[in-house]
A and B are shown apart, each in its own frame.
Chain A
Amino acid sequence: MQLKRRSFLKMGLAAGAATALDMKFLRYVGDAAAARTSEGETITRSTCSPNCTGACGFNVHVSDGRISTLIQSADYPETGYNPRGCLRGLSMMNLVYGKDRVKYPLIRTGERGSGKFKKATWEEALDYTAQKLKGIMEKYGPEAVALTVQVPGTGYVHKGALVRLAGLAHWSIHHGYDQNGDLPMFWPMTFGVQTEELESLEWPNARYTMVFGSNIIQTRLPDAHNLIKAKNNGKLVVFDPDYCSTAAKADEWVPLKPDSDAAMGLGMAKVIIDRRLYDEKFLQDFTDFPILVRKDNGKRLPAKDVKALANETAGWKIPPYRSLFVIRTPKGLAILNPERLDATEAILEGEFEVELTDGSRVEVRTVFSELKEMLAEYSLEKVAALTDVPAGQIERIAVEAATNTPLHAVYGASNYQWYNGDLKGRAISLLPVLTGSIGKSGGGISTYAGQYRIRFNLKEWWSAPGGKLNWVPYLYFLQGKGKRYPQKGIKAMIGGWGNPFDQHNMANRLKDRTASGDIEFVVTFDFSMTTSCQWSDVVFPATSWYENYELTATILHPYVQLQQPAIKPMFESRTAFWVARQLAKRLNPEFEKYYYPDLDENEASQEIIEVLLKTGGFETKGITLDMLKKGPVRLHSTAPDDRQIPFWEQVQNRVPFPPRSYPAPLKATARFLRSGRIEFYKDEDLFLETGEQLPVQKETFSETEYKVDPGARKKYTLRFVTKNSLYRVHSTHSNNVWLNELQGNKPKVFLNKNDAAERNIKTGDFVEIYNNRGKTRAYAVIDPGCRRGTTIFEQGWWARYLKNESYNSLTMPWIKPLHEIYFVPGIWSPTTVWNECLVDVRRVTA
């Protein structure tokens, strides 16, 4: 009974056991490698890859051409990854065969949003789309057409096909990472990267794990068992205002006040520094702490301005994205080498005068001294008041964490999806940095949001000769203005793998703009008839990951995997590659040649996969399509055993920060860390003006809700936290019959007992959540774990389940000006802050 499937397979082969899955019958169905069982079923290994980016391997059992069962393939070489998968993946047949499956190309016939369409042939739909797009491009310029492809990391071939087309046609393109608010801005600010994270297999190597608002048990479900292991190997502390299920599994739950994580991080950093529990060597070599800062203007002191060093600077050859800063060593002032992180013996603390080239003298001090002074503001008592957590507990945890390294901090999306989320991330990063946990097995800081991180070089397929992309932050599109917003506006939306009419800000305004004709043309490519499809002019039926070839990667584990067709495409669905090729050739016959015109879509997809693997760079070296057909293959990394350990190379091989974030060139991101080190001190003007040169705690809503409407303080007293549901991947699976059954078939809003009592609301009541921007409706649940002043909504319901009022009519695309001082798409860009939202709730009749 204890037979493991894999060993059983082997046994079956050896013994030829009659009932075993006989691998001798391994044969190709279509092209996919599939095994045939003695019962006439075929088994195909594909990859579940919706926007949760779990990328879990599944075995698809097919009989009579239909999926009969799905089960985790559990074929990852490390048992710690098996059996990846979840309830959503296990019920995917409900979407493949469900009643909302888009069957044919559809062209709108009724009013916008009326849901009235006619069934069209592909020819008709493609011709019509191409003609409309051409019209718009001619009238407003090509950048008036904007493409969104969500979560590119989970589909390099098909998502790439559309990006390639956008490039060829010079369209605008939105980056999903900032559109979704998944972009944690502290990363580029502090570490110069888009995002980094430990692979989950590394979690158990931490001696201390702090989770700041990441509901791993639900949102990183297939990896959650590694968190339990981490708990058993060390200690797991969850900081979350809500008693979420991850908090329930922790050794300790710290119910801090929402949006007070910056204070918490700073308070603990102060304890660690005051007690000298920090790793001095690490700070000297890998951080900006020893760098000198001018007291007069707050800027870091450039070596060229220092009399004693100015001459020496001439001899330094550094890339333009680097600067030479000054440190003090026991031997005196020195230039900090931004290209090597060699031991410097730098003195961390100090305040003194330096003579400048012009002969003047300025007062300077180290970043560390700046930090210490700033931290003086964050006494335990004050932090306790700010966070609502007892001082003793904060102090104890800080000491525990600092004395049990490596420390791993997980910083979750809901936590940074606040206006000052960047400040929180910067403050929390202090903890793994101070304890020297970065670049070590089991240590560091990780974010696991919808993962956009491209894992290797995609250029060969994603861009074509002559291509050009006009990246426009989605928030500019919503606001209809912004630095990079096309002059004549964006008039056509083309989207796939996303459902912006539910999932994104101003869902109601988007509908209004579409209804009014301000947005002239909407095309959606999906396999389910989502709200966005309902609002589209043309809907293209897409294949699911059991109907096509695709190359997928993710961040929770470092494996590249294939999607392979287990069944024929349902109805008239086609791959995005095919659609892109068809559109390309209609837009410009010249484009067709970039889309393998001689191959059918499956052959082409496989060809592209081979190209991608060949040209992917160091990470994909030696990996071939054939290897992938047999199972998942680990990407290469600089860490031993190809482990995914952020900054391993930086710390172990003393290579400067940051590592490259694909697809941006290094120079685009390295300029965020001009010192080549982890930077806590930011001296760009706006940082100084806003007093955020170092992380600080700021009052929630003061620059957003309270600023635009001072009355909001009294009128809307509930924070609207929209988090992810166990039962959905955002709005994917919103219509999954089983999963809806498991949650009582009703959308819910969770309330604190006292807040509910004040509003005369009981569990089960139908309530309206509202503010002056919009409203939505759900059934109330009094949740003893829900904090006073917070109302939690599990987002991801299609509008049809909410009386056609989206929760995203309540949220607001706030833009923090600091996020606009640079622009690197998806890396330094205005990012959405879902939780920066105030509402009230009242009882209504259904």
Chain B
Amino acid sequence: MSTSKKIGFAITGLLMLAGLVAWGIQVKEGLVLTNMRNSYTWGLYVAGLAFFVGNAAGGLVLSSMIYLFGVTSLKPFAKIGALCAFANVTAAMLAILPDIGQPIRLYNLVLHPQWRSPLVWDIIVLNLYAALSLLYLYLLMLPDFQGPLKKIALKVDHPKEFSEKWAKRLAPYSLAAAVGIHVITAWIFATQGARDWWNSAVLAPDFVAAALASGTAIVLLVCLLTYGLKDEYTQAYRTMAIFIAVALFTHIFFMYNDFFIHYWYGATEALDVLSITFKKYALAHAFEVVAPLAGVILLLSSNVRKSAGAMMTSCFLIIAGIFVHRFLLMPGAFDRVPLTIAPLGMQNTEFSVPIASGQYEPLMNTFVTEWHYFPSGIEIAIFLGVLAYVGFLIILAIDRLPIVKIEKAQT
């Protein structure tokens, strides 16, 4: 094992452990250790769900593109794609787990699922997607299983053809599943009539667009890390860059389209919500737009594509931008109490009705109209743990499984 891998294992391992410990403490003490409260019920964990779900997209979309649209240049990356998809979709589920107040009762999801709940659909598609990406990965690896791994290989006559055939057959489903997890995850939010920030038809397509950008950026990042810059991949990298760019532009278009329509109509609720993003979170918003834009613009330049480091930085900018975008799902929804009324005879005033925060402090207001949320140490630790899990899994898989072909060939 290379030292870089060792360092990778050590760091991600330690972070995972820290996250696990943090979760343990949180399970014991309760979600009081987070900075969420009654008026701000979702935070980093749910943002993490949306983020990882988004990242999961890239993988299978990429892989399916190879087989559906014949973008063969991407073929060497198909396995990495599937792996990233699997790692991220499972991370998404891990990210949401600590958000559950009574994790032991999760069995109720199986015993008493409520079919009208988008969360139930989401859990189903996420699991399906996880299974599908694992299956895809397996299929793609099938021809390359060697040594002890042979044991888990399906006994078929022509593994290569088998793999190709089934990869092709599964491709449309993968694409549908990838789009599906986004649409349904988006529906968790978009169906909320209570939250004007989310309650928009464009949220689902926008989720898909943003996901394609960040998901592909992740795959690109992992490819760069594993394969580095090689002439043979120039075309593939270029394709990915263009793909990311289109996805990102679409995402930004969707986002501003939505803003514009709300701004133009000028309903107070909508303006309030916009002002949270544009005033209170102005810097974060600037970052969510500028960073990925800068990232794709850089990626689109062939000069930049000559440096692995520059490309990785660009990917990182895109991913970070989308992460901030996901995080910004929350303030717009929770910074403002949804129940507002115009006081009698003061029709032009909007008044937010305070909510009991759920926290009693002898010198603090219990009833609040605003709750300034920033994740607590525990939340950050847990989130980093999940992030580390993604890294750990990818390194582990690459280390143990026949994922990176060339290296195999070289050894």
Is there any pair of Cβ atoms, one from A and one from B, under 8 angstroms apart in the complex? yes
Which residue numbers of A lie inside 8 Å of B, CB to CB? 737, 740-742, 744-746
Q: How distant is the Cα of A233 from the Cα of B364 in the complex, in angstroms? A: 43
Q: How distant is the Cα of A746 from the Cα of B365 in the complex, in angstroms? A: 9
A744 lies within 8 A of B362 (CB): no
Is B261 among interface residues, defined by CB-CB distance under 8 A?
no
Q: How far is the CB of A736 from chain B (nearest CB, A)?
A: 12
What 8 A-B pairs come out closest when comparing CB atoms? Answer: A741-B366, A744-B365, A745-B363, A745-B362, A745-B364, A741-B360, A745-B365, A744-B367
A746 lies within 8 A of B360 (CB): no
Q: Interface code B367-381, partner A: CB below 8 Å = 1, 0 otherwise?
A: 100000000000000
Q: How far is the CB of A802 from chain B (nearest CB, A)?
A: 13
Query: Would you call the interface of chain B mostly helix, strand, loop, or mixed?
Result: loop
Complex interface: chain B residues within 8 A of A744 (CB): 365-367
Which residue of chain B has the shortest Cβ distance to A745 in the bound complex? B363
Q: How distant is the Cα of A58 from the Cα of B366 in the complex, in angstroms? A: 28
Which residue of chain A has the shortest Cβ distance to B360 in the bound complex? A741
Q: How distant is the Cα of A745 from the Cα of B360 in the complex, in angstroms? A: 10
Complex interface: chain B residues within 8 A of A745 (CB): 361-366
Q: How far is the CB of A100 from chain B (nearest CB, A)?
A: 13
Which residue of chain B has the shortest Cβ distance to A740 in the bound complex? B362
Which residue numbers of B lie inside 8 Å of A, CB to CB? 360-367
Q: How distant is the Cα of A737 from the Cα of B364 in the complex, in angstroms? A: 12
Could you list 13 examples of A-B contacts with CB < 8 Å?
A737-B360, A737-B362, A740-B362, A741-B360, A742-B366, A742-B367, A744-B365, A744-B367, A745-B361, A745-B364, A745-B365, A745-B366, A746-B363
Q: How distant is the Cα of A180 from the Cα of B364 in the complex, in angstroms? A: 32
Q: How distant is the Cα of A737 from the Cα of B365 in the complex, in angstroms? A: 12
Complex interface: chain B residues within 8 A of A741 (CB): 360, 366
Q: How far is the CB of B361 from chain A (nearest CB, A)?
A: 8
Q: How distant is the Cα of A154 from the Cα of B98 in the complex, in angstroms? A: 55
Complex interface: chain A residues within 8 A of B366 (CB): 741-742, 744-745
Complex interface: chain A residues within 8 A of B364 (CB): 745
Complex interface: chain B residues within 8 A of A737 (CB): 360, 362
Q: How distant is the Cα of A659 from the Cα of B252 in the complex, in angstroms? A: 84
Q: How far is the CB of A226 from chain B (nearest CB, A)?
A: 24
Q: How distant is the Cα of A745 from the Cα of B365 in the complex, in angstroms? A: 7
Q: How far is the CB of A249 from chain B (nearest CB, A)?
A: 13
Complex interface: chain A residues within 8 A of B361 (CB): 745
Complex interface: chain B residues within 8 A of A742 (CB): 366-367
Which residue of chain A has the shortest Cβ distance to B356 in the bound complex? A741
Q: How distant is the Cα of A737 from the Cα of B360 in the complex, in angstroms? A: 10
Complex interface: chain A residues within 8 A of B360 (CB): 737, 741
Q: How distant is the Cα of A683 from the Cα of B12 in the complex, in angstroms? A: 97
Complex interface: chain A residues within 8 A of B362 (CB): 737, 740, 745
Q: How distant is the Cα of A741 from the Cα of B363 in the complex, in angstroms? A: 9
Q: How distant is the Cα of A744 from the Cα of B367 in the complex, in angstroms? A: 7
Q: How distant is the Cα of A737 from the Cα of B366 in the complex, in angstroms? A: 11
Q: How far is the CB of A816 from chain B (nearest CB, A)?
A: 41
Apart from the given pairs A744-B365, A745-B362, A745-B364, 5 other A-B contacts in the complex at a CB distance below 8 Å? A742-B366, A742-B367, A744-B366, A744-B367, A745-B363
Q: How far is the CB of B38 from chain A (nearest CB, A)?
A: 14
Complex interface: chain A residues within 8 A of B363 (CB): 745-746
Q: How distant is the Cα of A746 from the Cα of B362 in the complex, in angstroms? A: 9
Q: How far is the CB of B351 from chain A (nearest CB, A)?
A: 14
Complex interface: chain A residues within 8 A of B365 (CB): 744-745
Q: How distant is the Cα of A744 from the Cα of B360 in the complex, in angstroms? A: 10
Q: How far is the CB of B276 from chain A (nearest CB, A)?
A: 21
Q: How distant is the Cα of A192 from the Cα of B160 in the complex, in angstroms? A: 113
Q: How distant is the Cα of A740 from the Cα of B360 in the complex, in angstroms? A: 11
Q: How distant is the Cα of A744 from the Cα of B357 in the complex, in angstroms? A: 12
Q: How far is the CB of A91 from chain B (nearest CB, A)?
A: 14
Q: How far is the CB of B135 from chain A (nearest CB, A)?
A: 55
Q: How distant is the Cα of A742 from the Cα of B366 in the complex, in angstroms? A: 8
Q: How far is the CB of A206 from chain B (nearest CB, A)?
A: 27
Which residue of chain A has the shortest Cβ distance to B362 in the bound complex? A745
Q: How distant is the Cα of A741 from the Cα of B360 in the complex, in angstroms? A: 8
Complex interface: chain B residues within 8 A of A746 (CB): 363
Which residue of chain A has the shortest Cβ distance to B361 in the bound complex? A745
Q: How distant is the Cα of A741 from the Cα of B365 in the complex, in angstroms? A: 7
Q: How distant is the Cα of A744 from the Cα of B362 in the complex, in angstroms? A: 9
Q: How distant is the Cα of A43 from the Cα of B363 in the complex, in angstroms? A: 35
Which residue of chain B has the shortest Cβ distance to A741 in the bound complex? B366
Q: How far is the CB of A832 from chain B (nearest CB, A)?
A: 32
Q: How distant is the Cα of A744 from the Cα of B366 in the complex, in angstroms? A: 7
Q: How distant is the Cα of A49 from the Cα of B364 in the complex, in angstroms? A: 30
Q: How far is the CB of A4 from chain B (nearest CB, A)?
A: 31
Q: How far is the CB of A326 from chain B (nearest CB, A)?
A: 58
Q: How distant is the Cα of A745 from the Cα of B363 in the complex, in angstroms? A: 6
Q: How far is the CB of B131 from chain A (nearest CB, A)?
A: 49
